[in-house]
A = this chain, B = another copy of it.
Amino acid sequence: MRISELSAQSGVPVPTIKYYLREGLLPEGVRSSATQASYIELHLQRLRVIRALIESGVSVAETRKVLDALDRPPENAHDLLGAAHAAVTPTIDEQLDVTEAERLVAGLGWQPGMCDPNVLGGVARALQGLDRAGFRVEDDLMAVYVDCVQRIARAEIAGVPTESTEAAVRYVVLGSVLVEPLLLALRRVAEQIASAERFGV
């Protein structure tokens, strides 16, 4: 497959594919001469993953990190998940108070050192944003949030395929990132329906 066919099959313009090659998102094709390289099905798949990530709001730089995690999977599944999360979680600054976040995730069975500091910091940052905006989440609602994410996470982790590392890697890395827009979109639909139920159409 030449680059023009890769473009036709994927719907991604040739200059954009070249850009992804330059940025290291897409591995080079097999060079047959100075001005020829051939691409295979793998490149097409990868290109689709790239588009899905970018359209999910993941930046090019983060996409590269996610793909790196896909390509060079850490020793075990747990570190792999950490790598995927680290790729899409901005690093936090030091002066963020995580005590409230720690208290909150204690309800998830969290104990010190149990997860990536940046991921915990993400909770702290979200709480800070709510607080600064003067928005308070009631305790019982927060309990619902915590309980639901726990159910979701357990169902997700229970479903990690074990037949091949390859499959597990895809599942964990893509699942943690690509499902996010789905969850947010579903929540909006559910909110509109619940609102219609309560306030009439």
Contacts and interface: CB of A to CB of B under 8 A. Distances in A.
Select the residue from A110, A116, A185, A197 with max chain B CB neighbours within 10 A: A185
7 closest residue pairs by CB, A with B: A153-B190, A52-B133, A122-B185, A115-B192, A126-B182, A157-B194, A148-B148
A136 to B, nearest CB: 9
B133 A190 contact: no
Main secondary structure of the interface of A (DSSP, over half): helix
Interface string A94-126: 000000000011001110001110011011011
Contact of A183 (B116, B145, B185): B145
A37 interface: no
| Copies per assembly | 2
A161 B2 CA distance: 60
A180 B181 CA distance: 10
Contacts of A93: none
25 contacts: A52-B130, A52-B133, A53-B133, A57-B57, A76-B199, A78-B201, A81-B191, A85-B192, A105-B193, A108-B190, A114-B192, A115-B192, A116-B192, A133-B178, A138-B159, A144-B155, A148-B148, A148-B151, A149-B187, A153-B187, A153-B193, A158-B194, A176-B191, A183-B183, A183-B184
